[in-house]
Amino acid sequence: MLHIEKESIKTHILDGYFGLEMESLRVLGNGKFAHTLHPFPEDAHIVKDFCENQTEINTAVHNSIEAAVKELNSHSRRIHKKLQSLPQKEYLWPFSNPPYIENERDIPVARFEGENVSKTAYRDYLSDKYGRYKMTFSGIHVNFSFSEELLKENFRLQEIRDYTEYKNHLYLNLAKKMAAYGWLLVAITAASPVMDSSFVEKGVYDRDIFTGMASVRCSEIGYWNEFAPVFDYSNIDAYAASIQKYVDSGLLKAASELYYPIRLKPKGENSLDALRENGVNHIELRMFDLNPLSEFGVEEKDIVFAQLLMVWLAASKDWHFKGKEQIQAVQNFKNAARYDLKTVRIVLSDGENYSVAGAAIKIIEAMKEFYQSLRIPVEEVLAFECEKFLDAQNRYAWKIREQFQGSYVKKALKLAKERQERANV
């Protein structure tokens, strides 16, 4: 844990490194999928994800959230300009939920050649197992690591004498705690309450569907495996082995198929072997919806809150995360994706049952006391997030349902076109 009683730790407590990934679909002016090839074939920062018409922005690593968001915005502008210049103009879809879908041929698996041809084979496998419709959900991943200054200062105060082992231990504990508390980020960033009827009924278009979810992609019908995984957080080898067992049993084809909202990643190649050999480099949070209320898809305060949550957890006491508690934690994530957070319940690590809204307020209050004790002024961000639970009308999902229900696709298209026009001014 972080030794916040030491002034040298307090000095660096909010120092860190940040990288963002954002997925978006390319669509035509009629609300249907673009069928052109990925328009940035040689760009390391703008790649294709599952399908050929799904772009993914990968920012560089920055030492501030502001800088990471600024780069994300810069790449978004480049995409808008490129799509506007195509023979048939295309647009970036601003929602996590897709627009009109005619059939699975509308979702062409991304094609790779040469040494990357295995990526296509893997996507074909996912297509056969899960269906392509689910793969159209888009979102934002937040990558975070503590600064080296903070880690080295804290390392001097630990009993562990190997630096890599110490880092692994710290990030394993953080991943465990985020598995227990990360549902809070689903609740504050949920922004996909409506979807088009073509997602659930082939050939039926332009009928809005409200499933009772604030985030469909994070809900029961979203991006999840068919089982609730249980991990061994005791050390990095045990953690990697607890993922490998699902591959060996045939439940997963590869570790990358594990659709879990929190991942630990090594530097460079993302594999379990690299994780064992090189140790943890950063933690990845995969539960952010695209936010159409924010010009470029994400509200900066939500990323700040995510960091504040992780720092608070890293400084908190450790506990044993039993298998049944990990399974409950998965259900907590799914429950936090619902629309009415005052009626749906979750179970916290203390075993107590709360409404999602009630639990969120309780946690934010504890975070407020923590940062006040450190004399770190973060009240504005904490209040911004707390208001979402005190009054549901402050949630993105509530605002989006009010603004976009009734011809959801047509209204979202209007927004996509306006954004492209602004980006090209």
Task: List, for residues 89-107, the tens digit of each pLDDT value.
Answer: 999 999 999 999 999 999 9
Rounded CA separation 406/289 (Å): 21
CA proximity to 409, closest of 117, 157, 199: 199
Please give the C-alpha separations between residue 134 and each of 50, 387, 410, in angstroms, as whole numbers.
Answer: 10, 31, 21
Q: Which range has the worst mean pLDDT, 57-71, 106-120, 173-187, 394-408?
A: 106-120
DSSP 38-56: PS-TT-SSEEE-SBTTEEE
Angle among Cα 315, 312, 179 to the nearest 5 degrees reads 100
DSSP alpha helix (H) spans, 30-162: 65-85, 117-130, 148-155
Q: Which positions ≥6 away from 305 have C-beta within 8 Å?
A: 185, 188, 381, 382, 384, 385
Q: Which of 317, 18, 280, 318 is nearest to 167 (CA)?
A: 280
What is the pLDDT, as a whole number, of residue 272? 96
Range 7-423 classified under CATH 3.30.590.20: yes
Compute the distance between CA of residue 368 and CA of residue 300 in angstroms, rounded to an integer. Answer: 19
User: Hey, CA dihedral for 264, 266, 270, 272, is it positive or negative?
Assistant: negative
Q: Are 231 and 241 in contact (CB under 8 A)?
A: no
Q: Report the share of the chain in percent with pLDDT over 70.
A: 100
- Residue 59 near residue 45, CB atoms below 8 Å: yes
Q: How far apart are CA 76 and CA 86, in angstroms?
A: 16
Confidence of residue 198 (pLDDT cuts 50, 70, 90): very high
Express each pLDDT in 352-411 by its tens digit. 899 999 999 999 999 999 999 999 999 999 999 999 999 999 999 999 999 999 999 999
Query: What value, to the nearest 5°, has the Cα angle with vertex 175 and ends 170 and 178?
Result: 125
- Domain range list for the chain: 7-423
Residue 424 identity: N
Q: Report the greatest alpha carbon distance in the chain.
A: 63
Burial 124-160 (b: 16+ CB within 10 A, else e): eebbeebebbbbbbbbbbbbbbbeeebbebbbeeeee
Q: How far apart (Å, rounded) are the C-alpha atoms in residues 162 and 46?
A: 37
The reported pTM is 0.96
pLDDT at 211 over 80: yes
Two structure tokens written together for 305: 């809150």
pLDDT band with cut points at 50, 70 and 90 for residue 425: low
Q: Is the pLDDT of residue 260 over 70?
A: yes
| pLDDT band, residue 116 (cuts 50/70/90) | confident
pLDDT at 31 over 90: yes
Let me know the angle formed at the C-alpha of 68 by 178 and 91, rounded to the nearest 5 degrees.
100
| Number of neighbours of residue 75 by Cβ within 10 angstroms | 20
**pLDDT confidence band for 263 (50 / 70 / 90):** very high
Q: Is the pLDDT of residue 185 over 90?
A: yes
pLDDT band at 245 (very low <50, low <70, confident <90, very high): very high
